[in-house]
Structure 1
Amino acid sequence: MRPARLTVIAAASVAAALTAVTGCSQKSDAGGDDVIKVAASDSACDVSKTEFPSGKVQIDVENKGSKVTEVYVLFPDARIVTERENIGPGTKASITAEIKAGDYEIVCKPGMKGDGIAKKVKATGKGGGEEKRSPEADAAVAAYRAYVVAQADETLPKAQAFADAVKAGDIEGAKKLYAASRIGWERTEPVAESFGDIDPKVDVREDGLEAGQDPAKDWTGWHRLEKALWADQKIGDDEKKLADTLMADLTDWQKKVGTAEITTSSMANGAKELLDEVATGKVTGEEERYSHTDLVDFKANIEGAEKAYELLKPLATKNDPELAKQLDTQFAAMTVLLDKYRTDKASYEFTSYEKLGDAEKKELSDAVSALGEPLS
C-alpha cells in the first residue's frame, strides 16, 4: 500500500506494450463506444455506463480533481479485479482488464485514502473473454498462478526466521533477515494487493495509514518493525507481538493467493504496477526509508515484472516479434545495471541505497523509463 505521489515515468508504457502484444487491445473489441469513461474528482466518481458486456473491458479515467487519485474495479467481496494508482490532477489513464459476467464496483479514491467513492456496475453476458483465450494464454495464466503460489510458499519460512529474530530480541539478526523476508511479496505484489485487507496489514508505511488511524495501535507489518529496528533501535513486547501478527497475516496471504483472479490482462497490468513500484517508491528511497534496502525490493519488483513478461512472451513473439526483442533487451539492460550494486552475486545483498548519489539514482530511474521506450 502506497501513499499518494505524483511521480510520472515511462514505465507505464510496458503495460501498454504487454497489453498490445498479448492481444488485449487498448480499445474494446466492439470499438470506442464501448469504452467505460470514469470522471474522477475530489467528491465524485462518475461512470459513463453501469452495464457493459463481459470480456475485455477498457476503462478510461480522467482526474478532474485537485488530488491524486486511484481507481479500482472490485469484486463484491472487495477483492481487486484491476486498479490504477497515482493518477495526478488533470491527467488521464487507461485500464484494460478481462472481466467476467457479474456485479462489481468501480471505486475512485481521491487522495488515495479511505474507502473511496463507489459506483455499482454490472458485466453482462455468459461469462467473460476466457473462452476465447488461446492455449498459449491459458498456459501463461496457469504458470503465473503457480509462480505466485511458489513465491508465497517461499516467503513464509524467510518471514518466520525474521519474526523469530525479532521475538528473540536480536536486533542485528533481524536486520540481516528483514530484506530477504520481503522478496516473494515484492515479486508478486499486484496479486498480493488484490486481497485488499492483507496489504494494509503487512506492507503499509506510517504515512500510508488512513485518516484517524493511530500509528501506535493501527500500524502493523514489515515497515513498523523496520522502524523499530533501524530508527528506534529497540525491540519491546509490542514489537514481539507485531512479529506474530505479521506471520498470521502472511499465512492468510499464503492461503488465499492461489485463489486470485489471474488473466493475461492482469499479468500485463501487474508488470506495469511493479515497474511503477520501482518508479514511485524505490528510486525515491521512500519505501525502505529506515533500512535503505530499497535495491532488494527494486530487484524483486523487476524480477516479478520480467517473469510475467516471460510467460506472455509466446504471445508477444507471435503478435509483435520486434517489440518482444526490444523488451528482452531492456530487461537485460536493467539486470546488468542492478548487478553493479549487488555486493554478493550469490545472494540478494545490495549496496545500501543511501550510499548512491543523485547521478546513480537518475541512471536507475532512466533505465526503468527505458523499459517503456519500445512503444514511445
Structure 2
Amino acid sequence: MTRTRTWGAVAALGATALVLAGCVAKTDVAASDALTVTSTDTACTVSTATATSGTIAFAVTNASSQVTEFYLLASDGLRIVGEVENIAPGASRTLTVVAQPGDYVTLCKPGMVGEGTGRTAFTVTGDAVTATGDDAAQKQKPVDLYASFVKDQVEQLVPAVASFVSAYEAGDDEKARSLFPTARAFYERIEPVAESLGDLDPRIDYREVDAAAEGLDWTGFHRIEKDLWVPAPDALNSDGSTPAWKDWAPSTPAERATSGAKLIADVGELNAYVHGDAFQKALDAQGIGGISNGAISLLDEVATGKISGEEDWWSGTDLYDFAANVEGSRMAFSLVKDFAVSSGATGTELAGRIDSGYAALEAALARHGSLSAGFVNYRQLSEADKRELTDLINALAEPLSKLTSTILLYQPGCV
C-alpha cells in the first residue's frame, strides 16, 4: 500500500499548528468530550464542525467495508496534523490532540488509498494553548531526549549507507546483501520523522509498486534491493500483479553508481534536517503527544507492511525492519511512560499492559533471530508464526492507542 506521512510536517504549520504539550485549563479538558466520527465507503461524518481549543478527542467508528483512516489536516488540506489509521471495518479508534485556534480539514480514507472522502472544514475557536512553569519543563525533557535519539540513529545511518553503497557499486553483491538489512534498521527506528518530509521518504524507501502508483521515479533502498536479489523469471510483484521480471534488466555499473549516489544524497538530506532548527521546532510543537503518536505510528508500520512480507519483497529481510520498528516504538513509549503512570491508577495499568505487550512481541520475534545475529528469511515463517506475531501486534496496539490521550490529559502544573 502507499505510505502516509504519519508524523506531520508541523514546522510549516504556523498559527494552525497542533501543540501536543502544555497546560490546558481544566474546564477546557472537561468540555472536550469526544467528537464522534463515522467513516463509510463514501462519507466521513463528524458530529460537529467546530470545537474549543485545548484537548480534543475524535472517536472514529469505521462503518465502511474497508480498513480506513481519519485525518485532521491543516487548512491547506495537505499537511497532516493528526491521524489515526488501520481502523478495521466495524472497529473504533480515538485520535486525541491539543488544538490551537485555527482552521482545519477533516477527512476519512476508506481503503487507505487515494484522496479520501468527506473532506470538510473544521474550526477551532478560543484562546491559544500555552505551557507554563515546571509542567512545561517536565514535558520538554522527553522531547529533547527523543531529538537526541533520532540524531544518533541518523548519524549511524549515514556511514552504514555509505558502506552498503560502496559494496553495491563495486559489484560485491554478497557483502551488499549482508549490509542491506542492518543499514535499514537505523532508518526504520525513526521512520515517521522521514515520512513527514514531503518526497524524502518516497525517494529513500518506497517500494516499486508505491512509486508506480504515484508516478514517481523509483529510487532508494528497494531499487537497489531488486538488483541484489534478482527476481526469478516467473516472480510476481509484491501485489501479485505483472511478473516482476518483465521489462526488468539488472542495473549497469553506471546505473548502480547513479542509484548509490542518489541514496547517499537523500540520506544526507535527512541528516541535515534532523540536525537543523526546523526539526527541533517540529518536535517542540508536537511535544510529548507527538512522541506518543510516533510510538503508535511505528507499530502501525509493522502492522501494514512488515507483517505481510511486502516491505522487503525481494530479499525477505522484513523481520529486520519489523524488529527495528518495534525498537523505535518502545523507545518512544519509554520517554512518555512516566506521564502515563503519574496520571493515576488507570494510567499505571495502561503502562503495564503496554510494557507487557512489547515484551511478548519481542519474545516471539526473538524466536526467529535478532538484529545482531540475523533473522531468518521472512518466507521461512509458517502461517502459525505469522498469526502469532499478528495477534501480538493487535494486542499491543489496543492499549498503545490510548497512550496519547492518557498523557495529554495529565496536567501536573495546571490549577
1:190-229 per-residue CA deviation (whole Å, 9 max, x = no partner) reads 232222432222222233346462xxx6222222222222
Tell me what 2:299 maps to: 275
Partner-residue secondary structure (3-state), 1:195: coil
Tell me what 1:360 maps to: 385
Greater relative contact order, per chain length (Cα 8 Å cut-off, separation 6+): 1
| Greater Cα offset, 352-361 or 47-56 | 47-56
Tell me what 1:12 maps to: none
Tell me what 1:287 maps to: 311
The amino acid across from 2:333 in the alignment is Y
Cα RMSD of the aligned pairs, angstroms, is 3.4
1:360 Cα deviation (Å)?
2.4
1:291 Cα deviation (Å)?
1.0
Tell me what 2:242 maps to: none
1:306 Cα deviation (Å)?
0.9
The amino acid across from 2:257 in the alignment is K
Q: CA 1:107/1:332 → structure 2, altered by over 3 Å: closer, same or farther?
A: same
Partner-residue secondary structure (3-state), 2:314: coil
1:96 Cα deviation (Å)?
1.1
* Match of residue 394, structure 2, among 369, 373, 376: 369
Cα distance in 2 for partners of 1:372, 1:314 equals 19
Tell me what 1:127 maps to: 128
Cα distance in 1 for partners of 2:37, 2:265 equals 37
* Match of residue 189, structure 1, among 182, 188, 191: 191
Partner-residue secondary structure (3-state), 1:85: strand
Q: CA 1:183/1:100 → structure 2, altered by over 3 Å: closer, same or farther?
A: farther
Q: Percent identity?
A: 39
Superposition TM-score, scaled by structure 2 size: 0.72
State how many pairs are aligned: 350
Partner-residue secondary structure (3-state), 2:146: helix
The amino acid across from 1:272 in the alignment is I
Q: CA 1:330/1:109 → structure 2, altered by over 3 Å: closer, same or farther?
A: closer
Partner-residue secondary structure (3-state), 2:251: coil
1:120 Cα deviation (Å)?
4.1
1:297 Cα deviation (Å)?
0.9
Tell me what 1:199 maps to: 201
Cα distance in 2 for partners of 1:336, 1:66 equals 34
| Greater Cα offset, 304-313 or 68-77 | 68-77
The amino acid across from 2:229 in the alignment is W
Cα distance in 1 for partners of 2:81, 2:291 equals 11
Asked if the contact 2:200–2:266 (Cα under 8 Å) also holds between the matched residues in 1, the reply is yes
Cα distance in 2 for partners of 1:52, 1:272 equals 25
Asked if the contact 2:302–2:322 (Cα under 8 Å) also holds between the matched residues in 1, the reply is yes
Tell me what 1:327 maps to: 354
Asked if the contact 1:55–1:99 (Cα under 8 Å) also holds between the matched residues in 2, the reply is yes
Q: CA 1:108/1:201 → structure 2, altered by over 3 Å: closer, same or farther?
A: farther
Q: Which structure is larger by alpha-carbon Rg, 1 or 2?
A: 2
1:70-85 maps to which residues of 2 (within 5 A)? 70-75=69-74, 78-85=78-85
Tell me what 1:137 maps to: 139
Asked if the contact 1:80–1:195 (Cα under 8 Å) also holds between the matched residues in 2, the reply is no
1:293 Cα deviation (Å)?
0.9
Cα distance in 1 for partners of 2:164, 2:142 equals 33
Tell me what 2:99 maps to: 99
Asked if the contact 1:98–1:263 (Cα under 8 Å) also holds between the matched residues in 2, the reply is no
Cα distance in 1 for partners of 2:97, 2:212 equals 28
Cα distance in 2 for partners of 1:374, 1:63 equals 19
Uncovered stretches (5+) of structure 2, i.e. residues with no partner: 5-22, 232-248, 403-415
1:80-139 per-residue CA deviation (whole Å, 9 max, x = no partner) reads 322222334554432112333444433433443344454444433443364484543222
Asked if the contact 2:296–2:397 (Cα under 8 Å) also holds between the matched residues in 1, the reply is no
Q: CA 1:50/1:155 → structure 2, altered by over 3 Å: closer, same or farther?
A: farther
Superposition TM-score, scaled by structure 1 size: 0.79
Q: CA 1:177/1:62 → structure 2, altered by over 3 Å: closer, same or farther?
A: same
Partner-residue secondary structure (3-state), 1:57: strand
1:140-193 per-residue CA deviation (whole Å, 9 max, x = no partner) reads 222112222222222122122222333333322221111122112211222322
